[in-house]
């Protein structure tokens, strides 16, 4: 067969993405030091310098997860790869798994577990609500699962789920517990050892303020023993912890070519978290959330998430009657360069998700989005007292306490 000549094309112009203020559910704004790390010279994935960086990254991840777990590392993939890594390594075909679903990502965990061959039982709460430990306890006693899965910070609703008591209930019944901290890690307290969590996964693109591409995970000694004693191969070759841990452990056995630049970026992002201090970082997220919430309330907006369970870093608010979702979001993007997120599931077209994550959790971003939203709402006929949102936020900032700048 004769070779064909490719059609001629013009060389594309150099890449030049627009500058955005990323205030959606992720990715979040990235610190300049993290962006600079991405451009550093590549090392080989078995180079002694890169191996030392892997060791340092593991140490930093243990600090941020608040754990001594040996099996702690960054999976090469986004947060959903972290979810899949946890499930497929702990579940064998026929195993029972209980999943608590109160949003999109609990539902995704069900799908992943079913694909791994688990006998899945899902218990549900309406979007925006959280689970009571007693209802989880009743389900655990009814099902007798090997593994309980629950989302600590539901990105689709901004719901903040207490997990410590549920972990204790799971262990008393002889089950393992796995939690999703994709949106919570480095934004609110995550205490893996103190809470007795057996497996946890996260993502880099939320409160760590790193580009998406890696998924921090950690497994307790009990979970590691379950993995070591599997009767069947892990469903996914790529995510098989029995092989991956040999690369991240002392063997340095080749498994796959790690994304070198993303590991640089994660190391630098974790270093920034440690420099700021976890408590100070959590306090900064909370202060900026309170200012934003006060401003949104003054604009006549209310949260879809249950009071007392609202994530500081992910604010999910109802769109007022008569206001079109996309009209506002398109204008925010085109005129102010601000990205906020729309609702998912039953909240599609009915809610906005405003993220104040990591480096993006700054007073300047709070005041910018409040001013821009006020302009859009007022011009669309929503009754707003001029300057009310900014005044309310200013009251919070004027009440004392160090906010910080997002380092």
DSSP 3-state percent helix, strand, coil across the chain (nearest 5): 40, 15, 45
Asked if the model's pLDDT at residue 401 lies above 80, the reply is: no
> For residue 189, what are its two tokens?
């307290």
Average pLDDT in the chain: 95
**Euclidean distance between CA atoms 376 and 389, whole angstroms:** 13
Asked if the model's pLDDT at residue 94 lies above 50, the reply is: yes
Q: Which of 66, 30, 22, 1 is nearest to 407 (CA)?
A: 30
316 membership: H or E segment, kind and range: strand 314-318
Please state the φ and ψ torsions of residue 81, each to the nearest 5 degrees: -70, -35
Domains detected in the chain:
32-275 (3.40.640.10), 277-397 (3.90.1150.10)
E strand spans, 68-187: 71-76, 96-101, 119-124, 147-151, 153-154, 159-160, 176-180
Please tell me the least confidently modeled range out of 72-81, 248-257, 326-335. Answer: 248-257
The string of DSSP codes covering 231-271 is: SS--S-STT-HHHHHHHHSTT----S---HHHHHHHHHHHH
Q: Which of 142, 165, 164 is nearest to 96 (CA)?
A: 142
The string of DSSP codes covering 201-236 is: E--SSSTT---S-EEEEEE-HHHHHHHHT-SS--S-
> What residues are paired with 97 via a beta bridge?
120, 147
Please report which confidence band the pLDDT of residue 407 belongs to, taking 50, 70 and 90 as the band edges: very low
pLDDT in tens, 113-127: 999 999 999 999 999
**Euclidean distance between CA atoms 357 and 374, whole angstroms:** 22
pLDDT in tens, 7-64: 888 899 999 999 999 999 999 999 999 999 999 999 998 899 999 999 999 999 999 9
pLDDT in tens, 203-258: 999 999 999 999 999 999 999 999 999 999 999 999 999 999 988 887 778 889 89
Q: Which of 272, 217, 266, 271 is nearest to 40 (CA)?
A: 266
Asked if the model's pLDDT at residue 109 lies above 90, the reply is: yes
Q: How far is CA 99 from CA 92, 116, 120, 368, in A?
A: 16, 14, 7, 39
pLDDT in tens, 366-393: 999 999 999 999 999 999 999 999 999 9
**DSSP-derived 3-state class of residue 404:** coil
pLDDT of residue 251: 78
């Amino acid at each position: 067969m004769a070779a064909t000549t490719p059609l001629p094309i013009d060389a594309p112009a150099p890449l030049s993405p627009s500058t955005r203020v990323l205030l959606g559910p992720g990715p979040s704004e990235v610190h300049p030091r993290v962006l600079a790390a991405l451009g550093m010279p590549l090392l080989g994935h078995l180079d002694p310098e890169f191996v030392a960086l892997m060791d340092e990254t593991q140490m930093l991840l243990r600090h941020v997860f608040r754990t001594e777990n040996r099996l702690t590392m960054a999976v090469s993939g986004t947060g959903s790869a972290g979810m899949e890594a946890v499930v497929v390594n702990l579940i064998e075909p026929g195993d029972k798994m209980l999943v608590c679903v109160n949003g999109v990502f609990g539902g995704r965990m069900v799908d992943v577990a079913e694909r791994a061959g688990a006998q899945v039982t899902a218990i549900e709460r309406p979007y925006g609500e959280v689970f009571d430990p007693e209802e989880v306890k009743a389900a655990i006693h009814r099902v007798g699962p090997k593994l309980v899965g629950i989302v600590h910070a539901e990105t689709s609703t901004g719901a903040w789920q207490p997990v410590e008591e549920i972990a204790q209930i799971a262990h008393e019944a002889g089950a393992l517990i796995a939690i999703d901290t994709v949106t919570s890690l480095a934004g609110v307290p995550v205490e893996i050892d103190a809470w007795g969590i057996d497996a946890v996964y996260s993502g880099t693109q939320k409160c760590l303020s790193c580009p998406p591409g890696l998924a921090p995970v950690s497994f307790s000694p009990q979970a590691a023993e379950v993995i070591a004693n599997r009767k069947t191969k892990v469903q996914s070759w790529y995510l098989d912890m029995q092989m991956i841990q040999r690369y991240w452990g002392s063997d340095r056995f080749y498994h796959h070519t790690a994304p070198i630049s993303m590991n640089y970026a994660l190391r630098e992002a974790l270093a920034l978290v440690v420099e700021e201090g976890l408590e100070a970082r959590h306090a900064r997220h909370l202060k900026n959330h309170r200012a934003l919430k006060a401003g949104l309330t003054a604009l006549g907006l209310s949260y879809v998430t249950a009071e007392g369970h609202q994530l500081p870093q992910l604010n999910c608010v109802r769109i007022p009657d008569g206001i079109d979702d996309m009209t506002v979001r398109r204008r925010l993007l085109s005129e102010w360069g601000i990205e906020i997120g729309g609702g998912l599931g039953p909240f599609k077209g009915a809610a906005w998700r405003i993220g104040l994550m990591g480096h993006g959790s700054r007073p300047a971003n709070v005041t910018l989005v409040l001013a821009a939203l006020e302009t859009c709402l007022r011009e669309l006929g929503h009754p707003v007292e001029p300057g009310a949102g900014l005044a309310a936020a200013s009251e919070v900032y004027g009440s004392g306490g160090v906010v910080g700048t997002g380092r």
